[in-house]
Amino acid sequence: MRVLAALSGGVDSAVAAARAIDAGHDVVAVHMALSRTRDQLRNGSRGCCSIEDAGDARRAADVLGVPYYVWDLSEQFEQTVVADFLSEYEAGRTPNPCVRCNEHIKFATLLDKALALGFDAVCTGHYARVVERGDGTRELHRARDAAKDQSYVLAVMGPERLARALFPLGDVTSKDVTRQEAAARGLAVSAKPDSYDICFVADGDTPGFLRSRLGSRPGEVVDASGAVVGTHDGAYAFTVGQRRGLGLGRPAADGRPRYVLDVQPVHNRVVVGPAEALAVGTVHADRTVWYDEPAGAGQAAEPTGSGAGRPVGVQVRAHGAPVPGFVERRGDAVRVRLAEPLHGVAAGQSLVLYDGTRVLAQATVTGTERLVDERAEHDDPARRTVPTAAGRRA
């Protein structure tokens, strides 16, 4: 096939491109310039898309002996990924910019441009596996290396784009293997540190980045009773489940730590409370991307009873452990009942459903139903689950 290999300037994408060449594909390399400040140098493992990364990508392409181009996608990145990041936080939700980058940039803008130029597929250095069934249908699976698995952030791409994607590192057993292979191939990026955190927040200060774009908006931090226990400089800088950086002026009566339970953008208010108040028993999500719909899903637009639903593994964080649950489809939305509670689930997070290692669906969390402690449940059975305010659209 004619394959467009996305070279980030890191070790993973370089080895992935090398493996695509070894597989006999006609490979051309492209570096996506996503940052508007590419002249800013990297700070160790922080940041990406710098002039250093472009240079490392070029040198890798030279070693591999493939043509190399730079595509400036910074405007598209700003208008989709960064704009979504800001608007979601401003609305009291918690976005995942890596998911949106895969959705809008790597497997939309990049892939569409590649197909328009006559390429058959795009190759990236993501850690995930593609398994092809006998009928030609492609399934997205977790990588062999569970510690590096990126199927969670890739699930948003959907089956049609998966059909045009290559992930040559899916069967690698550890990142050390990738680095050793890079060194053996003479790739200078073999020892380059991995990037982490949010790529366009190079200093790692997300609240500071939000404040620079959204401005100062002082407000109150309250407990569940409504008592003011602190102040903040912008409710948008908080997320459900957050413990640190709350700036509380009054300790809890019992001396226990408090966490963000809700972000209320309309009132510019942050609600805090004890850890047990974060326990979630049901998750609601919409904008569902299906890889394999539940049997009879088309007839499951309405609730079908407390025992209904297909058993699934449920993951709500990129590096979180999946928990068992049951999914019901409701139009393009889903309701997922958890067999084990999750804590600190926020609206805006990506929800990915698995059958073993296979991705079944991806959706965006709109709200949750929280469990209450046994005493409250005994006192008032109607309080067994409490809808959170996190899913409210501002």
Would you say how long the chain is, in residues? 394
With both helix axes pointing from N to C terminus, report the angle between 175-184 and 11-22 in degrees, rounded to the nearest 10: 70
Q: pLDDT tier at 193 (50, 70, 90 boundaries)?
A: confident
Kindly tell me if the per-residue pLDDT of 47 is higher than 60: no
pLDDT at 35: 81
- Percent of the chain at pLDDT exceeding 70: 87
pLDDT at 251: 79
DSSP letters spanning 296-346 = TGGG-SS---TT-SEEEEEE-STTPPPEEEEEEEETTEEEEEEEEEEES--
- The arithmetic mean of pLDDT across residues 381-385, rounded, is 44
Kindly tell me if the per-residue pLDDT of 45 is higher than 60: no
Q: pLDDT tier at 381 (50, 70, 90 boundaries)?
A: very low
pLDDT at 149: 97
pTM (2 d.p.): 0.89
pLDDT at 295: 54
Q: pLDDT tier at 393 (50, 70, 90 boundaries)?
A: very low
Catalytic residue among 49, 98, 101, 123: 101
Question: What is the tens place of the pLDDT at every residue in 85-137?
Answer: 999 999 999 999 999 999 999 999 999 999 999 999 999 999 999 999 988 89
Position of tokens 């050793």? 180
Kindly tell me if the per-residue pLDDT of 373 is higher than 50: no
- The arithmetic mean of pLDDT across residues 12-21, rounded, is 98
DSSP letters spanning 182-247 = HHHTT-GGGGPPPPBS-TT-TTS-HHHHHHHHH----EEEE-TT--EEEEES-GGG--TT--TT--
pLDDT at 294: 62
pLDDT at 38: 52
Catalytic residue among 48, 49, 98, 199: 199
pLDDT at 49: 65
- Which is higher by pLDDT, 17 or 388? 17
- DSSP one-letter code for 277: G
Question: What is the tens place of the pLDDT at every residue in 226-279?
Answer: 999 999 999 999 999 999 989 887 778 888 999 999 999 999 999 999 999 999
pLDDT at 103: 94
Specify the DSSP element, H or E, that contains 70: strand 68-72
- Which is higher by pLDDT, 38 or 141? 141
48 is catalytic: no
Residue 337 makes CB contacts below 8 A (sequence gap 6+) with 281, 282, 306, 309, 325, 326, 328
Q: pLDDT tier at 48 (50, 70, 90 boundaries)?
A: low
C-alpha 203/C-alpha 226 separation (Å) is: 35
Q: pLDDT tier at 17 (50, 70, 90 boundaries)?
A: very high
- The arithmetic mean of pLDDT across residues 276-285, rounded, is 96
Question: What is the tens place of the pLDDT at every residue in 195-209?
Answer: 766 888 877 889 999
Whole-number average pLDDT of the chain: 88
98 is catalytic: no
- The arithmetic mean of pLDDT across residues 295-304, rounded, is 42
